[in-house]
Amino acid sequence: MANTVTRQETMTARQRVLAAINHETPDRVPIDLGGNQTGIHKHAYQALIDHLGIRDEPRIMDAVQQLAQPCEELLERFHVDTRYIAAGAAAGFDGAIKTNHRRGRLWHDLTDEFGVVWSMPDDQRLYMDVSHHPLADATVEEVKNYPFPRGDDPGRFEGLRDAALRVRDETPYALVSGISGVVYETCWYMRGLEAWYVDMLTQPEFCEALLDQVLQYWMDWFRAFLDEVGDLVDVIMVGDDLAGQNGPLFRPALYRQLVKPRQKKLLQYIRSRTDAKIWYHTCGACQEYIPDLRDNGVNILNPVQVSADNMDPAVLKKKFGQTMVFWGGAIDAQHVLPSASPEMVREHVRRNIEVFKLGGGYVFNNVHNIQAGVPPENIVAMYEAAYEFGFYN
C-alpha cells in the first residue's frame, strides 16, 4: 500500500524539469511518460486504463514500436511533468500500413521515407521489424545517387509551432520533442545490420558515404525544426543505440572514427541554434561512451539500463552525475517490473530514486518503454513510488 502522506509541490512542472536538467534541486523528481523511448506498448496501456477505470480509445503514436498515446487523464494521474510534440512526414508521403500475404501469413507492412520496409505478422501484433533493406546490395556510387527524402520538407512542420505554443502558453508542462537525429541506426536499417558491421571493417568508405547522406538529411531537418520551435522546446530527443547488454555493439575505435564526428557535427549545430537540452538515447552497457557523448554536446542520457553490465546507479551518479543528467533508470525493466510483486517494484524504485536524485540531475522514467505483459498493478506501483519518494524535503 502506497504511503498516503501528502507533500507540498512548490514548482510548476516545467520549472521542475528545468531545475533537474540544469543540475539544480527541484521540489521533487520530475516524472516522464509518453515519448518514443519513454512510452507504453498498446497492450500494456489497454490493461492499465482498464485497471484504473479510465475510458480512452488507444491511439498508436509509434507504429514500429506499437506505442499508445497516453491520455491526459492518465498523465495527470501519474503526475507526469512532460508533454511531447513531434514533426510529421513530408507532404504527400504515403505512410499507410498495408496488408500483404507472405509465406502463409498475413503481414502489416510500412514503408518509411528511406525505403525501409517494417513488418508485423497479423497473428502476433507486438512490434514491427525491418523486412527489407533498400541498400542491401548497393555500391558507394548507388548510395550517392539514392533518392533520400528531403529533411526540410515544409509539410513535416506544418502546425508544429502552434502545437508547441499551446503547451507553452496553456499548460504548466515541459516541452519535449519526438525522437530525431537518428544518424547511425538509419544506416543499418537501409543496409542491413550484419552487412553494415562487415562494411565498417572492410569498406569504411561505404559507411562514410551513407552516414554523410543521412547526416545531411538530419542537418536539413533540424534547420527547419529549429526555425519553427527552437525557442520553445525544452528538451530535444536524439538517439542511436551504441551498446548491448554486455558492452558496445561494435568497436569503440570504429565509433570514434566513423560515427562520432557526424553525431558531433549535428549536435553542435543543434546547440548553436537553441537553449534546449540535448537528450541522447542509447540502450545497453554504454558507460564507456558517456565521455564521448558529453564531448558531442549531450546533456541527458536515456534510458540508463540499470540491468546491463557496468550500469550501477551509484557508480554512474558518482562518476558522471555532475555533468550528465540521467533520464530513466527507474527499475530493472527486464527482471523486476514485469514479474515482481508491486511491493518489490516499489522498493526497487525507492532505491534507485534515492541514488539518482541527489543534487538534481534526474528525471524519472522506466528503462525504455513499458512493454506488453507488464502487470498494470506494477505500473501503478512504479509511478506511485516515483511520486512518493521523489520529494526532496
> What would the pLDDT profile of 219-265 be if each residue is shown by its tens digit?
999 999 999 999 999 999 999 999 999 999 999 999 999 999 999 99
Domain ranges for the chain: 13-92+135-389
The model's pLDDT over 285-306, given as tens digits with 9 standing for 90+, comes to 999 999 999 999 999 999 999 9
d(CA 164, CA 147): 31
The H-or-E segment that residue 348 falls in is: helix 342-356
Reading the block at residue 10, the C-alpha cell is: 512548490
The model's pLDDT over 314-359, given as tens digits with 9 standing for 90+, comes to 999 999 999 999 999 999 999 999 999 999 999 999 999 999 999 9
Q: Is the dihedral of CA 333, 339, 342, 344 positive or negative?
A: negative
Band (393; pLDDT cuts 50, 70, 90): confident
Contact 262, 211 (CB under 8 A): yes
pLDDT at 90: 96
pLDDT at 281: 98
Contact 306, 265 (CB under 8 A): no
Reading the block at residue 163, the C-alpha cell is: 502545437
CA 199 to each of CA 25, 246, 273, 282: distance values in angstroms, whole numbers, following the listed order = 46, 23, 34, 22
pLDDT beyond 50 at 2:
no
pLDDT beyond 50 at 178:
yes
d(CA 135, CA 133): 6
Q: Is the dihedral of CA 194, 298, 277, 264 positive or negative?
A: negative
The CATH label, of 3.20.20.210, 3.30.1490.20, 3.30.70.1520, 3.90.1560.10, for the domain at 13-92+135-389 is 3.20.20.210
Q: Is the dihedral of CA 267, 270, 272, 274 positive or negative?
A: negative
d(CA 143, CA 166): 41
pLDDT at 46: 98
d(CA 190, CA 258): 17
| Backbone Cα Rg of the chain | 21
The model's pLDDT over 24-66, given as tens digits with 9 standing for 90+, comes to 999 999 999 999 999 999 999 999 999 999 999 999 999 999 9
The residue type of 274 is T
